[in-house]
Amino acid sequence: MSYPIARPRRLRTSPAMRRLVAETRLNPAELVLPMFVKEGLTEPRPVPSLPDVMQHSRDSLRKAAAEAVRAGVGGLMLFGVPEKRDATGTGGIDPGGILNVAIRDVIREVGDSTVVMSDLCLDEFTSHGHCGVLDAKGDVDNDATLARYAEMAVAQAAAGVHVLGPSGMMDGQVGVVRKALDSAGYTDRSILAYAVKYASAFFGPFRDAVESQLDGDRRTYQQDPANLHESLREVELDIAEGADMVMVKPGLPYLDVISAIASTVNVPVAAYQVSGEYAMVEAAAANGWIDRERAIMESLTSLRRAGAQIILSYWATEAALKLREQY
């Protein structure tokens, strides 16, 4: 025969046809918006390396949270930026610390209309910028850090958070947090484990957003980007310790990791589309090099296609509104 026997193009002939046969669909409820709140601000402050992302005041955080809920996002992930820091991250444990205060603010504003999540890590609160307590040699002391995480978890649960996100990549962190929560009576609080968090170059703009004090790097506790099987082991350990959900961070550079994990676990898998991923698209779009809206939706769809059921993205509110228009 002189003509093609198979014509897959028939299923691409119109927007309606492409929508009908789409294998992967995004839903606003699958998107989570990361949000930063800075102690002492009276007005929101732009993050220079993250266009349209703000360090919020308490008032603007509440308003932005309500806006995201109206757009239909599935969750909000809160990060605190304190005015003062110390060697052990006291501000993260203090009930009056900015993150715990912000949790209470957002819960009062949105209640149970979305899932309120909190970052459970010391890096925003330490004067050295590491995710834990340092020993006499200046190395992160894993087990001393776990004790602080336990206190921080109870403080965040007392503030009313729905989901806690241990992100420090300390060995045993999920088990310690789960035990602390259960012992304090917070058996209903979920844990989204940052089970797979790579020592990535794509975190740069985030460190601007939280005003990181880090000197050096986190390669002794965050994962080597070369490794996949190590990630599978980390996930297995976190689930055994009580994680309700697991996360891969960053997202797009690690689609293979997301896919491998999603095919082997029976808990929800999340991906964090990190600050560097966001900033690259925004910078290219600002220069007219790519179609911004298409790049946003394509990148989110790629994460979903790889197997992420939950996607943390700084575009969450914007993408949720766009999806509501489409469907």
Q: Is residue 197 flagged as an active site residue? A: yes
- Residue 25 clears pLDDT 80, i.e. is over it: yes
Q: In what helix (H) or strand (E) does residue 153 lie, and over which residues does it extend? A: helix 142-159
Backbone phi and psi for residue 98, each to the nearest 5 degrees, phi listed first = -60, -40
Give this prediction's pTM.
Answer: 0.96
Which tens digits make up the pLDDT trace of 244-291? 999 999 999 999 999 999 999 999 999 999 999 999 999 999 999 999
Q: Is 63 a catalytic residue?
A: no
Which of 38, 63, 84, 249 is the catalytic position? Answer: 249
Query: Taking a C-beta distance cutoff of 8 angstroms, is the pair 31, 316 a contact?
Result: yes
pLDDT digits (tens, 9 = 90+) for 129-171: 899 999 999 999 999 999 999 999 999 999 999 999 999 999 9
Superfamily of domain 23-326: Aldolase class I (3.20.20.70)
Catalytic option among 63, 84, 179, 197 = 197
Give yes or no for a contact between 200 and 257, defined as CB atoms under 8 angstroms apart: no
Chain centroid, CA 303 distance in Å: 13
pLDDT digits (tens, 9 = 90+) for 56-92: 999 999 999 999 999 999 999 999 999 999 999 999 9
